Amino acid sequence: TDYGASLTVSLPAALQPHQPFQIIVRYTTADGPAIWWLDPELTYGNAKPFVFTQGHSVCNRSFFPCFDTPAVKCTYSATVKAPAGIQVLMSATQSTYLEEEGVYQFYMEYPVPAYLVALVAGDLIHADIGPRSRVWAEPCLLPTAISKLSGMVERWLTAAESLYGPYIWGRYDIVFLPPSFPIVAMENPCLTFIISSILESDEFLIIDVIHEVAHSWFGNAVTNATWEEMWLSEGLATYAQRRITTETYGAAFTCLETAFRLDALHRQMKLLGEDNPVSKLQVKLEPGSVNPSNLMNLFTYEKGYCFVYYLSQLCGDPRHFDSFLRAYIEKYKFTSVVAQDLLDSFLNYFPELKEQCVESKAGLEFERWLNATGPPLAEPDLSQGSSLTRPVETLFKLWTTEPLDSVAAASSVDLTKWRTFQTVLFLDRLLDGSPLPREVIKKLSECYSSQLDSMNAEIRIRWLQIVVRNDYYPDLYKVRRFLENQMSRMYTIPLYEDLCTGTLKSFALEIFYQTQNQLHPNLRKTIQQILSQGLNPLPAIDTTAVTTDTPAMVLEDKVSEATNGAISLRDVNVSA
């Protein structure tokens, strides 16, 4: 099963309490949810095979025997043998390489939960981008990665240290993975994993890396003891990320990015319903019934962030809250905590707030924050971002207020001068309002389609979703062109979802027939499940005897939670 089988080891009766002992488990693993094997064709260089692991949240049990819970932390060491020409990396503080034997040795000297043990191997080279950071990538991607990140990571680490204390992991390296990587980024200690597809979207790259930097304190050093309280990592990391961006890029940019994410939170709430239990910060999991990874939604990030922001506002000055978080990290580093640990520490650090019984303030009770379904009980004041959000709101109103007599004013807006987050906020709101009147979508295309063609994938996918949801056939060829050049889950699933929801399923099938061989088998399977909705199962085709010119597809009759997956990918842009 997805959860594996437990291994019970009976200890000798003669073993004394606290007496050290060693257990050796000999095992073999080949395929499992943690281990992603890629043929050379699924890499950018098309030269060598590639493998990476993704342990979050309960997948690493398919990688090695472990206590697969965030409540248990330990150090680890590993020996990895690899063919010549294959570079191996792990989330470890120390590594050595014996070239004549082709053997790598790794050691993580600090205790970490099992899900943070990570390995990647492939055609990777590196370049230093700071005094304690280097970037790893396939040779064809390395120059781009250097140009985007040189000097930046040290700037972000220094800002984080000024807020939350010393960076305790030694190095902060980044490895860019092929587009098959199933999420955007993963905060493996010492070695952040990031999907290469995000390199073209500068502002998203900045936010994603800073979010993973923040996890070095919140999530890696201090970890949620149970997956039911994932917000303790994600909500705090999101808060810390926004404190870092405020320090390095200003409050206006931070408020813009926050407005974009909170818009997405409310969108997800409309889709799921305000009484959906997954909107709680403390989600109750029946053992074995739910994969915790399915709880990676915007409530974990943004509702968690809003609660942490509310706590910071109770202090009056965010710098006072920064001081508390430094003390919290120092007290609990290398351990796992529950929400009550955080809240008790908060009230003990600020005795005046404890005397005021802020935890019981009517309508904003801490218990209600944790266990009520629905939207956040309070949201941050984003007025400092009005210089960036007001133009978005104005343009949106010009396009959605009837009668449509402001096209001249709207068409004069040059989106190429906007920040990425402004453009995606505008497009997301148009997406929410789709289908739009025919005249509106036609004029939108005339005004902006050529501008958007030259922009990054985060922007283009949103415009193409608008095209699909409005059945705007003149721009459909751009949807085909986009999907023919995308191998990433985050840039394919949302479009296939929209194509199959409307009248364009045959168009989606045609594109999939042509592109399936360039997709990772896991992604291919997900798209097959999306395409199979509403269709009778087709007989399996023996793909071993099929040429690349022949459509080969297996449509399955058991459909997974493809819709929910697409929602989370489109609206969360998940960085674990």
Active site positions, annotated: 212, 301
Helix ranges (DSSP H) in 401-456: 407-411, 420-432, 438-453
| Residue 81 bridge partners (DSSP) | 103
Omega before 560 within 30 of 0, i.e. cis: no
Strands (E), 114-190: 119-122, 125-130, 133-137, 173-177, 185-186
- Check if the beta carbon of residue 387 is closer than 8 Å to that of residue 260: no
Angle between helices 152-164 and 318-332 (to 10 degrees): 90
Burial of 490 (0-12, 13-18, 19+ CB in 10 A): buried
Alpha carbons 515 and 513: distance in angstroms, whole number: 6
Give me 216's structure tokens: 């070095």
Q: Annotation-wise, does 211 bind a ligand?
A: yes
What are the residues whose beta carbons fall under 8 Å from the beta carbon of 485, sequence distance 6 or more? Answer: none
Alpha carbons 297 and 469: distance in angstroms, whole number: 23
Omega before 376 within 30 of 0, i.e. cis: no
Q: Annotation-wise, does 561 bind a ligand?
A: no
Phi and psi dihedrals of 447, rounded to 5?
-80, -40
DSSP structure string for 16-34: PTT-------------BTT
Alpha carbons 88 and 194: distance in angstroms, whole number: 16
Alpha carbons 110 and 221: distance in angstroms, whole number: 9
Alpha carbons 118 and 174: distance in angstroms, whole number: 13
Where is 51: in which H helix or E strand?
strand 50-53
Burial of 563 (0-12, 13-18, 19+ CB in 10 A): middle
Q: Residue 329: helix, strand or coil by DSSP?
A: helix
Alpha carbons 126 and 143: distance in angstroms, whole number: 10
| Residue 245 bridge partners (DSSP) | none
What are the residues whose beta carbons fall under 8 Å from the beta carbon of 521, sequence distance 6 or more? Answer: none
Phi and psi dihedrals of 183, rounded to 5?
-130, -175
Strands 222-224, 335-337: pairing kind: parallel
Alpha carbons 264 and 270: distance in angstroms, whole number: 10
Q: Annotation-wise, does 234 bind a ligand?
A: yes
Alpha carbons 293 and 68: distance in angstroms, whole number: 13
Known binding residues: 211, 215, 234
